[in-house]
């Protein structure tokens, strides 16, 4: 009857996606070096042995988390750029997709690439994919400037601001909290694109005004 | 003649400020748990014993780094709000001060508050100071909405975007690199305030256009 204990029964539901989502959250909260596979097992409600069925070690988990995040980001651009539209529309759609997918599924929530966490080989592979994402982001910003839709700016610096805003989300976002992933995605993408538009709309988004609320 | 070795001669120049700047950078790169006092000593070019003259332990260093960052942030608001001006002017000045001071001095570059890094007592003290900073930021945004200068928005969500953009800077900024701290401060503060302004200026900042550059 050992197979029937609650811990082992959970293994059936232990998908790769679930493991990455939970690992990303734990890495983010405790840092890579402060996290053990036991911590991740605890967060998933399974024994470490069950984890080894899916991943070789902690490093592979971190690598897969980073990869998942970059994949979501690139998929956002792929979908946005496949549609007709102006650079501001493309940028807004790409960012909204990235943010909602990341916050909603909590996949790839690892924002840090701590030195020494990944072996040089895996580190280089992540950096290469990240560079690809960042180049795409800068290009869309530069396209908007060239099209006269965005104000003149240094796309590299603005891209860092955009990336920082997004990568910080896992530090404060709580699933089931007061803001839905969709709401955050809409607000962030509108705000981040608005900062570049020469003549942004007067309507930020569909949220009620907060004029007299006190903080 | 042992007092004359290069390592010990450096102790004379070992100010508290320098220690915090370098510690923040090392914590940021390696994560708190992945950093030892030896790593920090190496980065400073001193022996661990010299560090103990200034700080009790690694935890105190982390605590002081967080404190320094929040102090800079609050000082930015104090200076900005002491001047006459509209909420957008106040916000821009406060953010520019925070960013330039942080990047320039690399004081308080610790962006993470990893779980379990600080004892509950010190953790609570940092969270309290951070909450104060975040409340001030949200209030200035809400004031701008109330004054009709900013578009209607949820100041909490926008404040998180602003904080993320800023807290991410230490992850990519290199002292002596292609962008100066002042340039970053100007671009970031202009961009982050512009996203909220109902009628932002057509001039983003004084940088040359990048229209045809390829990324």
DSSP codes joined into one string, A141-159: HHHHHHTTSBPS--HHHHH
Domain boundaries of chain B, sorted by first residue? 59-194
The pLDDT score that the predictor gives to residue B111 is: 57
Distance CA A43, CA A40 (A): 5
Residue listed under structure tokens 């890495």: A27
Top residue of B30, B144, B161 to mutate, by most chain A CBs within 10 Å, is: B161
pLDDT of residue A18: 86
CA distance B8 to chain A (A): 28
Please provide the average confidence, as pLDDT, over all residues in chain A.
84
What gap in Å lies between CA A20 and CA B138, rounded to an integer? 33
- Quote the DSSP letter at residue A191: H
Per residue in A25-47, pLDDT (tens digit) is 888 778 888 889 999 999 999 98
Which two tokens mark B161? Answer: 């975007």
Is there a contact between A157 and B184 if contact means CB atoms under 8 Å apart?
yes
| Tokens encoding A211 | 């004029």
Residues of A in contact with B142 (CB under 8 A): 210-211, 213-215
The closest alpha carbon to B141, from B86, B190, B191, belongs to: B86
Quick one: pLDDT at residue B109? 57
CB A10 within 8 A of CB A45: yes
Say whether pLDDT at A2 is over 60. no
Find the helix packing angle between B155-167 and B120-146, rounded to 10°. 120
Reported as a single tens digit per residue, the pLDDT across A91-104 is: 999 999 999 988 87
CB-based contacts of A66, cutoff 8 Å, min separation 6: A108, A110, A113, A118, A126, A129, A130
**How does pLDDT run along chain B (215 residues), one tens digit per residue?**
444 444 444 455 788 888 888 888 888 878 888 889 999 999 999 988 888 888 899 999 999 988 888 899 999 999 999 999 999 999 999 999 999 988 876 654 555 667 678 899 999 999 999 999 999 999 999 999 999 999 999 999 999 999 999 988 888 887 778 888 899 999 999 999 999 999 998 877 644 434 344 44
Residue at token pair 């981040």: A192
Question: In this predicted structure, what is the pLDDT of residue B117?
Answer: 82
Instruction: Write out residues 37-96 of B within 8 Å (CB-CB) of A.
Output: none
pLDDT at A142: 98
CA distance B28 to chain A (A): 8
Of residues A160, A132, A62, A69, the one with CA closest to residue B170: A160
Q: Confidence band (pLDDT; 50, 70, 90) for A20?
A: confident
Determine whether the interchain pair B211/A167 forms a contact, defined as Cβ–Cβ distance below 8 Å: no
For domain A58-194, give the CATH number: 1.10.357.10
Torsion sign, CA atoms B50, B51, B55, B59:
negative
Query: Which ipTM value was assigned to this complex?
Result: 0.85
pTM of the model: 0.86
What lies within 8 Å, CB to CB, of B10 at 6+ separation is B44, B45, B46, B50
Does the distance separating the beta carbons of A211 and B146 come in below 8 Å?
yes
Q: pLDDT of A181-208, one tens digit each?
A: 999 999 999 999 999 999 998 877 644 4
CATH 1.20.120.340 matches B59-194 = no
The reply to whether A12 touches chain B by the CB within 8 Å rule is no
Residues B187, A153 contacting (CB under 8 angstroms) = yes
Check residue B91 and give its pLDDT.
Answer: 97
- Residue A116 pLDDT grade (very low, low, confident, very high; cuts 50, 70, 90): confident
Binary contact (A168, B172; C-beta < 8 A) = no
Q: Which of A155, A160, A165 sits opposite B161 (nearest CB)?
A: A165
């Amino acid at each position: 009857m050992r197979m029937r204990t609650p811990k082992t029964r959970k293994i059936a539901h232990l998908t790769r996606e679930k493991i990455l989502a939970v690992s990303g959250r734990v890495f983010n909260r405790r840092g890579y070096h402060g996290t053990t596979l036991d911590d991740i097992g605890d967060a998933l409600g399974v024994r470490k042995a069950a984890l080894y069925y899916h991943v070789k070690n902690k490093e592979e988990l971190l690598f897969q988390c980073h990869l998942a995040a970059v994949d979501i980001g690139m998929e956002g651009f792929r979908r946005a750029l496949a549609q007709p539209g102006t650079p501001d529309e493309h940028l807004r759609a790409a960012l909204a997709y990235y943010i909602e997918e990341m916050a909603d599924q909590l996949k790839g929530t690892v924002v840090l690439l701590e030195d020494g966490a990944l072996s040089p080989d895996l580190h280089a592979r992540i950096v290469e994919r990240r560079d690809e994402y960042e180049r795409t982001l800068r290009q869309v910003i530069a396209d908007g400037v060239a099209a006269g839709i965005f104000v003149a700016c240094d796309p590299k610096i603005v891209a860092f601001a955009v990336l920082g805003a997004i990568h910080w989300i896992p530090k404060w976002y709580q699933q089931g909290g007061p803001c839905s992933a969709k709401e955050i995605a809409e607000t962030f993408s509108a705000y981040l694109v608005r900062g570049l538009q020469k003549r942004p709309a007067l309507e930020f988004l569909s949220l009620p005004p907060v004029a007299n609320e006190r903080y």
